[in-house]
Amino acid sequence: QKEVEQDPGPLSVPEGAIVSLNCTYSNSAFQYFMWYRQYSRKGPELLMYTYSSGNKEDGRFTAQVDKSSKYISLFIRDSQPSDSATYLCAMSDSNYQLIWGAGTKLIIKP
Amino acid sequence: SAVISQKPSRDICQRGTSLTIQCQVDSQVTMMFWYRQQPGQSLTLIATANQGSEATYESGFVIDKFPISRPNLTFSTLTVSNMSPEDSSIYLCSVEDGARAYEQYFGPGTRLTVT
């Protein structure tokens, strides 16, 4: 079993829809939870990070962490074609080494 | 945020040869990382490179196959030695933000195809 599980997709939704991207993990020592976005032929870029449990909102993006269920989510409201990318979750414990999910390819159809 | 460039952006190489990938950062950083990203798979950390010390390799990666140099605080190279088709992948370098160690900035990647 991988430490971090993420459905690779692709996930295809119409423009304007609410998108839900998810990861599950097995290591209860993880404290930092990140979402990176990667456009085609580019390196990943940090989109959001959350420490411990709870929600964090930034514009159209909301990151949610449920440590009791070992489950994290990224919600995108009013999705746009420019949101089409691969979204990778990453997690770390106090040693800060990142453990990555496989990435979910998201396609927003105009 | 740091700006990172990589050279080459892509290359096609014959098996048995070696390729050196360069990573240049626009600011001084302590830790640099080298990753491999294969299609449909997660990023896999190859090694961590600190200036002035030997690189630290992750399980499954060895120095003879992936020698790394870190001559100063803005530059690093990764060599993929004695290549085989299984080495075909995207190789990424990254640096961490000193204030937030979990935040990493990535270069655009080097797309390597071994024939």
Residue B59 pLDDT: 93
**Peptide bond connecting A8 to the previous residue in cis, omega within 30 degrees of 0:** no
Residue B83 pLDDT: 97
Residue B102 pLDDT: 78
- Closest Cβ–Cβ partner in A92, A96, A100 for B42: A100
* Cβ separation B106–A92 shorter than 8 A: no
d(CA B104, CA B97): 6
Cβ neighbours of A100 in B, within 8 Å: 42-44
- Closest Cβ–Cβ partner in A8, A42, A98 for B104: A98
Position A109 pLDDT exceeds 90: yes
d(CA B78, CA A25): 31
HEC assignment per residue over A55-97:
EEEECCEEEEEECCCCEEEEEECCCCHHHCEEEEEEEECCCCC
Cβ neighbours of A8 in B, within 8 Å: 40
Smallest CA–CA distance from B100 into chain A, residue: A96
Query: What is the DSSP code (8-state) at residue A27?
Result: -
- Closest Cβ–Cβ partner in B4, B44, B101 for A96: B101
- The answer to whether the CB of B23 falls within 8 A of the CB of B92 is no
Over the stretch A50-64, which tens digit does the pLDDT of each residue have? 988 889 999 999 999
pLDDT band (50, 70, 90) for residue A6? very high
Over the stretch B30-82, which tens digit does the pLDDT of each residue have? 889 999 998 777 899 999 998 888 899 999 999 999 999 999 999 999 999 99
Residue B100 pLDDT: 76
Report the share of chain B in percent with pLDDT over 90: 80
Position B112 pLDDT exceeds 80: yes
Residue A61 pLDDT: 97
Give Dmax over CA atoms of chain A in angstroms.
42
Is B31 in the A-facing interface, judged by CB distances under 8 Å? Answer: no
Q: Which helix (H) or strand (E) holds B48?
A: strand B43-50
